Chain A
Amino acid sequence: MTKINLNRLDPQFKNRVAEQPGGEGLKACFACKACTAACPIQPLDKRYDPRKIIRMVLLGMKDQVLGSDFIWLCSSCYSCQEVCPQNVRFTEVMYAIKNLAAQEACIPPGLMAQRSLLRKHGRLYEVGEFENEKRLKFGLPPIIEHPEDFEKLLPDQSVGV
């Protein structure tokens, strides 16, 4: 069992999450464990436990939640949301937590690499001459990358803006 240092808890953290779009239902949780039982990720990585993440947020364990890498494991399958009797909408809560993590610049490097790819190419995988030649053989039109819109959406390398 991990020790919790009360001095490092942030009592306002739960309110910050609840204020985010999607985080509204957070405080209605009864801790009934239906979400955890439905989650396909939890059996693979014990740290990703929806019920425990909600408890951590309610306790104010901001650093342990936002600074962790397990919050990025959510597969967005919405199983937890489907089984929740209290309408907590946990998948949406996860988005809220991830948005806050991005604001605090706690994004895993892999996701940052994806972001720069998106900014540069307008898609997550670069389409070069090789791919377009292959497409031509199959009679498909070539793909032209339009990164301009994404440059506007993701203005520079700083995050959370």
Chain B
Amino acid sequence: MKKDVLIVGGGITGLSLSWELSCLGINSILVEKAPFLGGHVSQFACKATETCQKCGACLLEDCLSKLAGAECSDILVNSTIDSFREASRKFNALILQRQSQVINEKCDDCGLCSKVCPVEGALLRPSLDSRLYISNNKCLKSLGIQCEACAQICPQGAIELAEKTKEIKIEASAVAVCTGFTPFDASRKPRLGYQRVPGVLTTLELDSLLRTGNFEPLLPADELKSVAFIQCVGSRDAKSGANYCSRICCGVSIRLARLLKNKYPQAESTIFYMDTQTFEREFDKTFGQAQNEMTFVRAMPAEIRSGEDGRPEVTYHGNDDTKQKVAFDLVILSIGIGPRDPDLPRSFPTLWNNRDGFIGSDDIDVSGGHPGIFVAGANQGPKSITDCVSQSILAASQIKKYLDRVKMGEQL
């Protein structure tokens, strides 16, 4: 298959880039490893209260609906790049696409398979998509264990666990790497109690619970009275190798606190911070208003433990110069954005190494350090959804410029 651009990664940046390229009349093919599109953004809830909070989560749906009508954008999910070769300004990639193990035409959504599956999260139903998927890194069968519980119980015979792959050869003139980020693993900070103390969640978990509608059943409406947000978990943290600001967490926490207040009017939020960052243009206004709506405490907690009543208890040094131990109903760790290994074949040209493990250029530029290779999105550095979209627009114009020069036979 001949294409102008190969896009690696089907998150918001890759999808938006695919749309922007199609607007410029450039053919692209997008390769996504997961069985569904949208990446991390597909887990984010809309944070609108009475008014829109401009979180950007809806930009993904926007992008997907636009792409559904686009003619020159192809998308391959469940696919990885197996090998990669460059010859006379053309990139040849061999794509392996795993065939879906659930036959959608037969599946009648009875839910029996989810009930018998011994592994949590092996059968996925991404919220953007009503179809059922089998997660290949969690399914026991794909890990080499003889388990066919779901296939045996399915009354429709809609599950075929035998793995089938399809090979697709692609020749492209340019490659855009949009592989996104890794959220900080909060269990690397054991003193904050993540996965040890009940009631401690990350912002990402809260976001996806709110999105899927699983949060409300977890806590009855009158039981959520106090919420603590801990900022800079895995950002501005030299010890964890993340000595940078993740740029999004202050906004995320304020929006989530407002959303919770909107859903649970008696819920009071306290935000523990060391430094609030104002990257968004309207942030000063947002922050000023937020100071009236929630409590800001300039202190990082020393530890979070399970208190006597079972609620998480935060130890911090209060504004009155004394040590405080306060129990909250819910503690949310505002986790940062970390670099992600793009998981490309070894024969892929070496990408520029930016600082802290991120790739590509370390300013607004989208070049990847090799002619024809571009890097955009959160794999280049911490970015908000809107920043990712605007960078994809920049990438589209840069790619167009590059393709035009290649067509003219110019020396690069």
Contact = CB atoms under 8 A, between A and B. Distances in A.
A32 B275 CA distance: 8
Interface in A13-66: 28, 30-38, 42-43, 46, 49, 51
Nearest to B232: A85
A57 B299 CA distance: 20
Contacts of A36: 317, 323
B180 to A, nearest CB: 24
Interface stretch (A76-84, A95-103, A109-117, A128-136): A76-84
Nearest to A79: B302
A87 interface: yes
Contact of B191 (A32, A43, A83): A83
Interface in B277-298: 298
Contacts of A37: 299-302, 315-317, 323
A86 interface: yes
Interface string B44-68: 0000000000000000000000000
B218 interface: no
A28 B239 CA distance: 12
A94 B237 CA distance: 21
Contacts, number: 60
Contacts of A46: 321
A38 B275 CA distance: 19
A95 to B, nearest CB: 19
Contacts of B323: 36-37, 42-43
Interface residues of A, number: 22
B243 to A, nearest CB: 8
Contacts of A84: 239
Nearest to A35: B302
Contacts of B301: 34, 37
A12 to B, nearest CB: 25
- What's the dominant secondary structure at chain B's contact region? mixed
Contacts of B317: 33, 36-37, 42, 51
B119 interface: no
Interface in B315-364: 315-317, 321-323
Interface string B94-123: 000000000000000000000000000000
Contact of B238 (A32, A43, A85): A85
Contact of B302 (A28, A30, A83, A87): A83
A159 B293 CA distance: 57
B239 A30 contact: no
A83 B315 CA distance: 12
B365 to A, nearest CB: 29
Nearest to B314: A37
B153 interface: no
B335 to A, nearest CB: 13
B221 interface: no
A33 B239 contact: no
Contact of B239 (A49, A79, A87): A87
A32 B300 CA distance: 5
A87 B301 CA distance: 16
Given A37-B300, A43-B322, A83-B191, A30 B237 contact: no
A161 B322 CA distance: 39
Contacts of A86: 236-239
19 contacts: A32-B299, A33-B274, A33-B299, A33-B316, A34-B299, A35-B302, A36-B323, A37-B301, A37-B315, A37-B317, A37-B323, A43-B323, A83-B300, A83-B302, A83-B303, A85-B232, A85-B236, A85-B237, A85-B240
Closest 8 CB pairs of A and B: A37-B302, A38-B302, A32-B274, A34-B300, A32-B300, A33-B299, A37-B317, A85-B237
Given A33-B298, A34-B300, 13 more contacts: A32-B274, A33-B300, A34-B302, A36-B317, A37-B315, A37-B316, A43-B322, A49-B321, A82-B191, A83-B302, A85-B237, A85-B239, A87-B238
